[in-house]
Amino acid sequence: MQLNAKSAIDHRHVINIVTDATYAHSSLEKSIPESVKLVEEILMEQLKIILRKATECAICRGSPGNLVAEDFVFLMRRNHGKLRRLLQYLAAREKVQATVPEQDAEVRGVLSDVLQFLENMEISLYTVEKSYEDFVDEIKLERELRLEKLSRSLSSADYVKFTRARQVHFARTKELRKVFDTWLNENLKVKVTLSAGATLILQYLAHETIALLMDYGFIVRRDQRACLALAFRPDGLLEPGIPGFEVPPCAGFKDPLTPVEIREAFRRATVLEGQVGSHNIHARISCGEVIIAV
């Protein structure tokens, strides 16, 4: 894929994909338009940072402007949990491709290339390669449990819509991949060429960025509800546990996330996710160099 080529796209397609992605990670169909727009803006800024850092890796390889899957994997080298999550995604995708041999032939073999790259790096990452199949992703498990609880209140028709929304992914079909490529082309100023594997991982990181924003958004809302419950304690004590003042896990989760909650979610994600492998997190935040999905 060659970025920064002349192209045009109906922006509503991107908004619809982002809306479906937020719905898939929150089970809240009626998203606030301003919130969806904010998620899209954050996502694009994150993708720009990812591409800029991956380009720096490509320059070190001696191939500036030509990005491969290994450039993105190198960015994730310090976060073994997210690296294992990526490997599980690639493994699951290859299993699906095995059932449909003619589908996505250009992106076959990405997992083997990534595993070979990890094996050639260092021993600590080699353990990541060997254990990714048995890895229990606690973050993803908690995400699935939350969605399962929230989806119990959906009607049959709404649950069908929710299931379809969960199938939406930038890398799922050729049409969605084309929307993703054109969307990047319209927002990038630098000419960059991505291999099929690099494009696949970038699309995965885009989806994971939205998922993390939703995760942190619900954490923000949960904390807000907890603070509100403590503020109205009759005895004025800030000690949780008194019956009648405990906040249910899904309290307030039936309303869509507001732009304020999403901004706070991104702030928390920037601080917490950016601390992995960093000795100068404050400088990275001030320079806008933190990638929450890497």
> What digits encode the pLDDT tens for the residues 137-193?
777 788 888 888 878 888 888 888 888 888 777 877 778 888 888 888 888 877 788
* 260 found inside a domain: no
| Domain total of the chain | 1
| pLDDT-based confidence at residue 99 (cuts at 50, 70, 90) | confident
Domain that holds residue 19: 11-212
* 272 found inside a domain: no
* 133 found inside a domain: yes
Side chain identity, residue 158: D
Distance CA 242, CA 102 (A): 60
Average pLDDT over residues 185-204: 85
- Note the pLDDT of residue 283: 45
Q: Which residues contact 217 (CB under 8 A, 6 or more apart)?
A: 26, 257, 261, 262, 265
Q: Which of 124-128, 212-216, 251-255 has the highest mean pLDDT?
A: 212-216
* 270 found inside a domain: no
What tokens does 235 get? 């005895």
* 116 found inside a domain: yes
Measured from the Cβ of residue 219, the count of other Cβ atoms closer than 10 Å reads 16
* 185 found inside a domain: yes
pTM of the model: 0.81
Q: What is the DSSP string of the chain?
A: -BSS-S----HHHHHHHHHHHHHHTT---S--HHHHHHHHHHHHHHHHHHHHHHHHHHHHHT-TTEE-HHHHHHHTTT-HHHHHHHHHHHHHHHHHHHHSTTTTGGGTTHHHHHHHHHHTT-HHHHHHHHHSTT---HHHHHHHHHHHHHHTT--HHHHHHHHHHHT--TTTSHHHHHHHHHHHHHH--S--EE-HHHHHHHHHHHHHHHHHHHHHHHHHHHHHHHHHHHHT-TT----TT-TT-PPPTTTTTTSPPPHHHHHHHHHHHHHHHHTTT-S-HHHHHHTT---TT-
- Note the pLDDT of residue 32: 85
- Note the pLDDT of residue 47: 93
What value does the mean pLDDT of the chain take?
Answer: 77
* 48 found inside a domain: yes
- Note the pLDDT of residue 201: 93
- Note the pLDDT of residue 39: 92
| pLDDT-based confidence at residue 15 (cuts at 50, 70, 90) | confident
* 269 found inside a domain: no
